[in-house]
Amino acid sequence: MQEKNGTVLEYVLGLYFHVNHGFGVEDVKNYLDNPKVSDRSQLFKKELAQAIVNHSISPKEFERLTAVDYETQEEVDEFLKTEIWQPIYGNEPIKA
């Protein structure tokens, strides 16, 4: 499943974590838990884990999606872990 010509992760980053939008993690949880799209939550979790483990969201791509200018891959990965993974999945291990 893709969201508007991209992955669920890209859609979530672009909408819920863009600097010009006022959404937060609770909004993301509500979006993911939509009963009309039952596989969205599982797909997002898989895409997020893959992005963290495989470093697949580059700083340039992250900036395109969120308007946040991180200089390094480590900064992007840390954001994905601390601002998205941990608030949603807690201490669950990240496995791609």
Using one digit for the tens of pLDDT, what is the confidence trace for 28-85?
A: 999 999 888 889 999 999 999 999 999 999 999 999 999 999 999 999 999 999 999 9
- At residue 2, the pLDDT reads 43
Q: Helix 8-16 to helix 59-66 angle, to the nearest 10 degrees?
A: 60
Contact 32, 46 (CB under 8 A): no
Whole-model pTM? Answer: 0.90
Is the confidence at residue 4, as pLDDT, over 60?
no
Q: Where are the domains of the chain?
A: 8-89
- Per-residue pLDDT, averaged over 77-96, amounts to 96
* CA atoms lying within 13 Å on the CB side of residue 24: 2
